[in-house]
Amino acid sequence: MRPDTNALVVIDVQNDFCDGGALAVPGGSAVVAPINALMQEFSAVVFSQDWHPAGHSSFASEHPGKAPLEMIEMPYGPQVLWPDHCVQGSAGAGFHPDLDTARADVIVRKGYRRTIDSYSAFFENDHTTPTGLEGYLRSRGITNLTLVGLALDFCVQYSARDAARLGFDVEVRCDLCRAIDLGGSLAAARAAMQDAGVRLSD
Ligand code: VGL
Ligand code: ZN
């Protein structure tokens, strides 16, 4: 077992990001079994869950003439447009059926405001509106985070960088993540995480 100051943060292992899902990340389902195994080493396990209302502003379907994976400018900055995914209460928003959800001490939902997306489990995409996860971890005395899940170049990346900026010691187990890899986004994400002081391991 790792010390009680360590938490495993499992990012968005949801049906829509796994094989056959609305925003399937190639190989997404393959991370489930090894993540279940890794949970056994941690006394603190946190999940995040992408949780959008129908008609969320990150959905291309809300922007006439725009297609999924195009970019738009939002009041809070540039935003990739996605296929409709992880709609609150839908099967796609549920966790992968084989994920050991019983081990989650807390599940942090994000992206639930219609007009703003949230890649990071710590802050919405304006980089200032908190989700509450920082306070949860600090009040438990947790200082070291290991991140795993989907997608490495979006929600895992933003969560890892925010966590490092907040002063946590952060490791990303890249072997327990999968990436969307849009136009070089995986290489850019790896570089940005390293610049932020995140440890990348396999
Ligand atoms: C994610 C795109 C849109 C993710 C969530 O979990 O990486 N990516 N919403
Ligand atoms: Zn989303």
Q: How many CB atoms sit inside 10 A of residue 77's CB?
A: 9
pLDDT of 93 reads 98
The total number of residues shown for the chain amounts to: 202
Do the domain assignments include residue 75? no
- For the question of residue 18 being annotated catalytic, the response is no
pLDDT in tens, 28-84: 999 999 999 999 999 999 999 999 999 999 999 999 999 999 999 999 999 999 999
Q: How many CB atoms sit inside 10 A of residue 107's CB?
A: 13
Q: For residue 26, what is the domain's CATH number?
A: 3.40.50.850
**What atom of ligand 1 comes closest to residue 86's alpha carbon?**
9
Which ligand places an atom closest to the C-alpha of 189?
1
Measured CA to CA in angstroms, residue 6 lies from 34, 41, 72, 89, 173 at distances of 18, 10, 38, 31, 14
Q: Catalytic residue, from 18, 110, 117, 162: name it.
A: 110
Ramachandran region of residue 114, left (φ > 0), alpha (ψ -120 to 50) or beta? alpha
Do the domain assignments include residue 70? no
> Which two structure tokens, joined as six digits, stand for 150?
């989907």
Do the domain assignments include residue 174? yes
Do the domain assignments include residue 63? no
Q: Residue 184 — pLDDT band, cuts 50, 70, 90?
A: very high
pTM equals: 0.98
ipTM comes to 0.98
Ramachandran region of residue 42, left (φ > 0), alpha (ψ -120 to 50) or beta? beta
Do the domain assignments include residue 1? no
pLDDT of 77 reads 95
pLDDT in tens, 94-141: 999 999 999 999 999 999 999 999 999 999 999 999 999 999 999 999
pLDDT of 31 reads 98
**What atom of ligand 1 comes closest to residue 156's alpha carbon?**
7
124 Cβ closer than 6 Å to some ligand 1 atom: no
Do the domain assignments include residue 111? yes
Residue with tokens 């809300």: 62
pLDDT in tens, 136-182: 999 999 999 999 999 999 999 999 999 999 999 999 999 999 999 99
Which residues span the domain enclosing 108?
6-53+84-200
Domain count, the chain: 1
Beta bridge partners of 144: 6, 169
154 Cβ closer than 6 Å to some ligand 1 atom: yes
- Angle, CA of 173, 188 and 115, to the nearest 5°: 90
Cβ–Cβ under 8 Å, residues 143 and 117? no
Q: Catalytic residue, from 12, 84, 117, 162: name it.
A: 12
